[in-house]
Amino acid sequence: MNRYWPEIATGSRKLAVSLSPRELALLALITLIYFAAGKMGQDLVFVHPYLTPISLPAGIAFAAFILFGYRVWPAVLLGSFLGHVTTMGFVVSTMSVTASFAISVGVTLEGLVGAYLVNKFAQGMEAFDTAQDTFRFVMFACVFAPSIGATLGVGRFYLAGKTTFVHFAFIWLTWWLAHGIGILLVAPFLILLLRATHHRLDWHELGELTVLVLGLIFVCLLVFGPLSLSLNKNQFVQAWVCVPFLIWAGFRFCPLEAAGTTLILFGSAIWGTLHGYGSFVGKDLTTSLVLLDTFIGIIGTMTLVVAAMVVERRRIEGELLGTQTLLQEAVARKQRDLLVTVQTLDVEATEHMEAKRALRESEERLRRLAENRPRN
């Protein structure tokens, strides 16, 4: 393995020379954030050393590819590699380095392919402005792209004898769900927050959003907090009571606020389920988290699509109002032009009548002169 390090170091120096200081700082920041998120996610590890109920780094990496372009791939690759190779309790060896590199390549390809498809078919950063593009984002980024990382990662463990064929499908499913849910929850919020333009709230909207968030947090404490142990025995509160808050956010606010409320709700749901609270707690923690991820995927997609439909409707209404205003201005302009034309015609008709009367008077005078002319 050591014989490859000089070549890797030479390639890294060439890449660093070709980048500006600002780009190097961006890559370093993304690497640090990805690595830190991966370390935070290790507290949620279950079933397998690399499987969590939600992959925060996957969402961060996907948002980075959409926001900053494909050039950030070295940061994602390095951050993922460092996070996996330094996993707690995993002995650093040639095998661990190879496995970590294979997983990192899968994660990087997952983000690159998903970002390419979203940019090509779902308008990239503008994907959440229409319901159709939002649905395409979910399909490409949260359904198709995670299958690449899951296949490469789990396939590497299977070939290395770290898992059996019986457990392959289940581990692949949990890996795919974790990355898909991570992208669904984290990437839209970061993309909407950091993209160039988004709606600014006035004081009235800010007050309404505050009430919504406080109400959602209170309900999350009831559904996924310690009180759920007693309330859920009598089926008083279930996860569905949180859904109206997401619908409220989707109809009344923009996709950014909807993505934020979704993040709050499902962050609470994941925390509560891991601590044994909430309606998703069952006999087996793994099954509970898979069911929770499925719930998150369905409700999260619904929320983003509803918010996009509202944005699309508002834009169409604005375009119709603009068209109506233009038509009204055109009608008013035509009315003014018609009024001027009528007035001009009135003036011309008056002048014509006066000229006609003057002509008759002139003819009358000529006739009288002719009659009064002396005859020889």
Grouped pLDDT means (10 residues each) for the chain, 376 residues: 46 56 88 86 55 82 94 91 69 63 88 94 91 93 92 74 68 86 92 80 89 91 80 68 88 88 88 81 75 86 90 83 83 87 86 84 78 65
Domains and CATH numbers, the chain: 1-198 (1.10.1760)
- Position 88 scores a pLDDT of 46
Amino acid residing at 19: L
- Position 232 scores a pLDDT of 65
What does the block give as tokens for 164? 């059996």
d(CA 61, CA 41): 14
- Are 87 and 49 within 8 A, CB to CB? yes
- Are 172 and 193 within 8 A, CB to CB? no
- Are 184 and 58 within 8 A, CB to CB? no
Phi-psi region of 276 (alpha: psi -120 to 50; beta: other; left: phi over 0): left
- Position 61 scores a pLDDT of 93
| Beta-carbon contacts of residue 296 (< 8 Å; ≥ 6 apart) | 54, 181, 184, 185, 266, 269
Of 120, 137, 119, the C-alpha closest to 128 is 137
What does the block give as tokens for 40? 């935070």
Q: What is the dihedral of CA 68, 69, 74, 77, to 10 degrees?
A: 90
